[in-house]
């Protein structure tokens, strides 16, 4: 039966079948299949003329070390319930990645509740992901409004600010031109810009509303981009001023940058966290991913490393060299001073290890504490954060 399955790029008819199959698989309609049809590579598995699996692939870039790295973002992967249990999901992932790799993707990102199978294929979660919720009254009492002007609407200078700030983290998507239109329409978002008189946009938020549990509404924040702490405080104060109608302000998973604004400033510390399945990163082409990533210009590093292969239990030995803002790998026979699995290497690449202790606890093996410390420092200058959802 396995050989009777074919994998093809979906035309309109097959995309419609995939859409219907995905609704059965997820238990609800998947709007992104329709909304992203014009921007994504849609692949399906067909058995006896019937779509039994499918998924979307978006070729874009993500910032790592301040540089945009070509990436394959996978979304809406699904297998018909009656076809589960035969590794069709793993085969489907391979077929979805293949055309994106041919077009230049050297890394891949997914967000999935099936972390186990993703980890077996080389993806790893660099950081935990949380959504945050806080009383609007607490926000109003805790943050000063400042003297920033507030204007409605998303403008080009606000989008430019977002891309500038995104470069300061590891993971944010270099959003294509269509991204904001898609997310605004999909989530019914309203955007507010924050500016100082005579100066460029200093920050912006995008938000929507949902019905409260008992009455009124809650605010749900999707984007929170601030160039400095004073602007961030003004943005939080603005959200707090919705307290007459919204009891709670919810920051959608990953919406807040990973700095503890709320914990440091709330008077009563009543913020709550809701853990979510994390984004996961996979290195598709180790050498190209290292070469295309951004590196500190003053970094001078040479370490023998071992990196796991796609086959379980196998690895390759390299000499990793980083100098003058560039990196390369040269095959060697020397035993590595530090040994990574494919997943651990992805976490290191994203800056997920904030200390040598964190790397060791994740299972990274080392024969040299000095080498491990140097490697951790090489990628920990920027924190991992993925505020986008796809």
* Tens of pLDDT, residues 121-174: 889 999 999 999 999 999 998 898 888 999 999 999 999 999 999 999 999 999
* Model pTM score: 0.94
Vertex 171, ends 329 and 348: CA angle to 5°? 40
Query: In Å, what is the CA distance from 388 to each residue of 73, 175, 217, 258?
Result: 11, 9, 24, 14
Q: Mean of the pLDDT values across residues 312-330?
A: 90
Is the pLDDT at 2 greater than 60? The verdict is no
pLDDT computed for residue 299 by the predictor: 95
- The closest of 329, 387, 384 to 353, measured between CA atoms, is 384
Please list the residues that pair with 193 across neighbouring strands: 151, 204
The per-residue pLDDT for 85 is 82
Write out pLDDT tens, residues 105-124: 999 999 988 788 888 888 99
Q: For Cα atoms 370, 376, 378, give the angle at the middle one, nearest 5 degrees.
A: 105
**pLDDT score for 95:** 95
Q: Tell me the C-alpha distance between 179 and 182, whole Å.
A: 5
Average pLDDT over residues 294-321: 89
Bigger pLDDT: 18 vs 277:
18
Across 332-355, average pLDDT: 95
Does residue 3 have a pLDDT over 70?
Answer: no
Distance of CA 189 to the CA centre of its chain: 20
Structural contact between residues 143 and 234, judged by C-beta atoms closer than 8 angstroms: yes
Predicted pLDDT of residue 1: 45
Question: How large is the average pLDDT for residues 290-319?
Answer: 90
Half-sphere exposure of 351 (CA within 13 A, CB side): 23
| Distance (Å, whole) CA 54 – CA 288 | 28
CA distances from 184 to 20, 173, 189, 190 (A): 24, 16, 5, 7
Structure tokens at 149: 């002007």
The predicted structure's pLDDT at residue 34: 87
> pLDDT-derived band of residue 269, with 50, 70 and 90 as boundaries?
low
How many C-alpha atoms does 102 have within 13 Å on its Cβ side?
Answer: 8
Q: For residue 312, what pLDDT is reported?
A: 62
Whether residue 162 contacts residue 174, with contact meaning beta carbons closer than 8 Å, is answered with no
- Is 330 a residue whose pLDDT tops 90? yes
User: Does the pLDDT at position 390 exceed 90?
Assistant: no
- Percent of the chain at pLDDT > 70 equals 97
Furthest C-alpha separation in the chain: 68
64 neighbors 170 (Cβ within 8 angstroms): yes
Residue given tokens 């230049």 in the structure block: 104
Q: Is the pLDDT of residue 294 over 70?
A: yes
Q: Which residue has the tokens 């796991």?
A: 308
State which H helix or E strand residue 315 sits in.
strand 315-323
* 19 three-class SS: helix
Task: Find the angle CA(42)-CA(275)-CA(123) to the nearest 5 degrees.
Answer: 45
């Amino acid at each position: 039966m396995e050989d009777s399955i074919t994998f093809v790029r979906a035309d309109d008819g097959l995309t419609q079948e995939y859409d219907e199959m995905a609704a059965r698989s997820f238990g609800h309609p998947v709007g992104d299949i329709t909304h992203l049809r014009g921007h994504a590579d849609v692949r399906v598995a067909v058995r006896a003329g019937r779509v039994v699996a499918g998924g979307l692939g978006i070729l874009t870039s993500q910032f790592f070390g301040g540089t945009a790295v070509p990436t394959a973002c996978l979304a809406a992967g699904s297998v018909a319930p009656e076809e589960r249990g035969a590794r069709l999901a793993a085969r489907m992932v391979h077929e979805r990645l293949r055309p994106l790799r041919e077009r230049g993707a050297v890394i891949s990102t997914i967000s999935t509740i099936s972390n186990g199978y993703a980890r077996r294929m080389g993806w790893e979660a660099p950081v935990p992901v949380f959504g945050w919720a806080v009383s609007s009254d607490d926000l109003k009492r805790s943050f000063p409004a400042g003297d920033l002007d507030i204007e409605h609407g998303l403008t080009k200078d606000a989008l430019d600010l977002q891309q500038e700030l995104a470069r300061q983290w590891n993971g944010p998507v270099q959003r294509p031109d269509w991204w904001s239109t898609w997310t605004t329409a999909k989530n019914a978002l309203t955007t507010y810009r924050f500016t100082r008189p005579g100066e460029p946009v200093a920050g912006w938020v995008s938000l929507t509303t949902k019905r409260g549990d008992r009455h009124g509404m809650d605010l749900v924040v999707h984007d929170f981009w601030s160039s400095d702490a004073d602007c961030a405080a003004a943005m939080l104060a603005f959200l707090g001023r919705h307290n007459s109608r919204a009891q709670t302000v919810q920051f959608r998973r990953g919406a807040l940058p990973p700095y503890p604004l709320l914990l440091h400033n709330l008077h009563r510390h009543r913020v709550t966290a809701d853990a979510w399945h994390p984004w996961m990163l996979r290195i598709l082409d180790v050498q190209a991913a290292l070469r295309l990533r951004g590196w500190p210009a003053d970094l001078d590093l040479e370490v023998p490393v071992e990196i796991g292969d796609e086959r379980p239990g196998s690895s390759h030995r390299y000499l990793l060299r980083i100098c003058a803002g560039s990196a390369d790998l040269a095959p060697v026979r020397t035993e590595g001073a530090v040994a990574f699995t494919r997943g651990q290497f992805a976490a290191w690449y994203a800056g997920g290890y904030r200390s040598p202790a964190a790397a060791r606890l994740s299972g990274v093996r080392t024969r040299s504490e000095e080498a491990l410390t140097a490697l951790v420092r090489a990628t920990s200058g920027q924190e991992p954060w993925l505020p986008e959802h796809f």
